[in-house]
Structure 1
Amino acid sequence: MGSGVWSTDVYDAAKKYRRATGKSAFSYSDSGARKVHPSLDPRDAMRESRDSTEHPQSTPIAVLFDVTGSMGHVPRTLQNKLPQLLGLLQRQGYARDPQIMFGAIGDATCDRVPLQVGQFESDNRMDDDLGRMVLEGGGGGQMQESYELAMYFMARHTATDSWDKRGRRGYLFIIGDELAYAGVKRREVAKLIGDDLGEDVPIRRMVDELVQRWDTYYLLPAGSHYARNSKVLDFWRDLLGQNAVTLDDLDAVCETIALTIGLGEQAIDLEEGLRDLERAGSTATGTVSKALAPLRAGRQAVVSTLPPASTGAAPTSGGVTRL
């Protein structure tokens, strides 16, 4: 996967066609589907981001979002703002050869479709994956969703040339508003992914494994049910440190993702990124600046402790992002 090139013209043509025919960008879900689409089924699946002649320096980017309850509108927001996200990553050169994968997270204790995982794509097929998602809107109502199950899949069912060839982590963004469960449950993994685990995996051990290959962020947007809940924010900051990011406006999620990657790739500093947003006509500069200020401070603190000759990526676990 990962061939081809994103085209805004193709995206706009599909949007105009849907408007003319009255079709939804999420036609699979809006048709009443209650089963995972075969192309997004995580069972016995491996998702790969690979280099090619067309894309020799692939940068894997995964965006997984909670689709339960008040979070069900997130993928629609992402779909509407895909051109802004891809424009910043590609035209502004924030990342070389970005390959984006979208996924959806529910609650494995009660939802019909608790995990959906697309492919890493460089072209408009990523939009197709969004359109195949079931926006179930369920959840158990106990302030917990199965984020840890998605983490397990990302840690053990992805392969990237970025890591295998260059030792560079990919980027993982989880968009949600609740707690993860205390651990990855072996019976849920067996049922949904097909692996036979000897035991459950505690959440902290899962995160430690995940961040070895994925620079991981949790985005907590305004407008969600637990957006201002200190328990949720404290939970994720305990796991990810400053990589648990709050957003005052959900509409800023694509810009936040793009600038986070630009900062991680050392393609820009925050002020340059904010100027890029202004030139692109974005109204999200204030939200993005506030959200990413802690990341900038964290990076500056890490840089100040490095020896003068240190260069390159610094993948570490916990809340310190790579430089």
Structure 2
Amino acid sequence: MGGTTWSDDHYRERARLRARTGSSAFAYDSDVKAGQAAARVHRQMDPLGVRVRESRDSDAHPTSHAVAVLMDVTGSMGQVPIILQANLPKLMGFLIRRGYLQHPQILIGGIGDATCDRAPLQVGQFESGIEIEDDLGKLYLEGGGGGQTTESYELALYFMARHTSIDCFEKRGRRGYLFVIGDEMPYPKVKPREVAEVIGDGLREDIPTPSLIRELERMYHVYYILPRLTCYWDNPVVHRRWVDLLGQNVLRLEDPAGICEMIASTVGVAEGVVDPWRVEEDLKAAGSDAVIARAVGKALGTTVKGHRDEGPVAALPDSGAGSGLTTF
């Protein structure tokens, strides 16, 4: 996937058309809630039986760079998933215009709870064009969840570790970017039964979540974004758990409408394009809203001086993606 090219004009024209017709940008979720579609994962976002989601170089995108954005769509997130859906389509153009990544390819996904939800995991394709908006429109905002400050984040991380293949890493030794947006904690381990039911792999044993994250971090810079307006925004246990798992890569965003700027600026800092102490000024220069610029600058300013990519790393041997074997 990822063979098309982003167009700001195309994006704006789509928005104007929806405004004229009164249609929703989130057609699948609207259809489900109107009883016009079954309450389940959209078939094109269903991870069951998927061997791999690919981010590949092409003539149009010779140096593709994978960026994955997975959002919690359970009840504790309130209206935040809708705010995120409305703002994420701007991410592609922002990354390109600001020169943070030349050829980003963006994957969109949704996270629920495998213990009780109809849609515990939704995963799109890596896209280079307006298809990112199409995938956002296929998300089912179930609003369920387990209700115990835990959701199946670890299942989403398992899919990304074992079922994605990205040329930025495999050809150039540069890690992709993975952003998890939520307000709860992962379960302590990946369970074979849930993996079999949701993804289709045959795991032999549990995988502790910390071990899985270490595996995933070979291929991706992994970040957790905790947005305000969610139920557990101020929960110290949730924050501490993610800090234990990801260290400095835990970001608290006071204005969820700034998700595009938050992700783009984090990438810019990691790529060495943006000074971490001048994020707010950089965003204002790009025309961003002052409140959003301040919120993003504050979020990144609370981390250490930078997350700059340390440069190319040696590509690792096949980790058994899709094999169902635990390999550490």
Please report the TM-score for the alignment, with normalisation by the length of structure 1: 0.90
Partner of 1:99: 105
Pair 74,7 (structure 1): closer, same or farther in 2 beyond 3 Å: farther
Q: Does 1:66 align with 2:65?
A: no
Partner of 2:311: 312
Partner of 2:119: 113
Aligned partner of 1:172 among 172, 175, 178: 178
Aligned partner of 1:38 among 6, 21, 43: 43
Tell me which moved more, 168-177 or 243-252: 243-252
Tell me if structure 1 keeps the 8 A contact 2:252–2:299.
Answer: yes
1:19-77 deviations in Å (ceiling 9; x for gaps): 22222111111112411111111012111000111101111000000000132533432
Corresponding letter in the other structure for 1:39: Q
Q: Does 1:244 align with 2:243?
A: no
Partner of 1:56: 62
Pair 5,296 (structure 1): closer, same or farther in 2 beyond 3 Å: farther
Aligned partner of residue 165 in structure 2, secondary structure: strand
- Offset at residue 314 of structure 1 (A): 6.8
Trace 1:220-235 onto structure 2 (pairs within 5 A). 220-235=226-241
Partner of 1:291: 299
Partner of 2:24: 24
Quote the Cα distance in structure 1 between the aligned partners of 2:239 and 2:273: 29
1:82-117 deviations in Å (ceiling 9; x for gaps): 454223200111012000000000000000000000
Tell me if structure 2 keeps the 8 A contact 1:220–1:246.
Answer: yes
Partner of 2:85: 79
Q: Does 1:12 align with 2:12?
A: yes
Q: Does 1:198 align with 2:199?
A: no
Aligned partner of residue 242 in structure 1, secondary structure: coil
Identity %: 51
Quote the Cα distance in structure 1 between the aligned partners of 2:93 and 2:304: 22
Partner of 1:189: 195
Corresponding letter in the other structure for 2:67: I
Quote the Cα distance in structure 1 between the aligned partners of 2:312 and 2:71: 27
Corresponding letter in the other structure for 2:74: T
Tell me if structure 1 keeps the 8 A contact 2:74–2:142.
Answer: yes
Tell me if structure 2 keeps the 8 A contact 1:72–1:136.
Answer: no
Tell me if structure 1 keeps the 8 A contact 2:172–2:312.
Answer: no
Tell me which moved more, 3-12 or 179-188: 3-12
Corresponding letter in the other structure for 2:288: G
Question: RMSD across aligned C-alpha pairs, in angstroms?
Answer: 1.8
Pair 299,2 (structure 1): closer, same or farther in 2 beyond 3 Å: closer
Corresponding letter in the other structure for 2:273: A
Quote the Cα distance in structure 2 between the aligned partners of 1:286 and 1:195: 44
Aligned partner of residue 99 in structure 1, secondary structure: strand
Aligned partner of residue 81 in structure 1, secondary structure: helix
Quote the Cα distance in structure 1 between the aligned partners of 2:159 and 2:212: 10
Tell me if structure 1 keeps the 8 A contact 2:269–2:306.
Answer: no
Corresponding letter in the other structure for 1:21: T
Corresponding letter in the other structure for 1:224: T
Quote the Cα distance in structure 1 between the aligned partners of 2:224 and 2:311: 24
Quote the Cα distance in structure 1 between the aligned partners of 2:137 and 2:163: 22
Partner of 1:124: 130
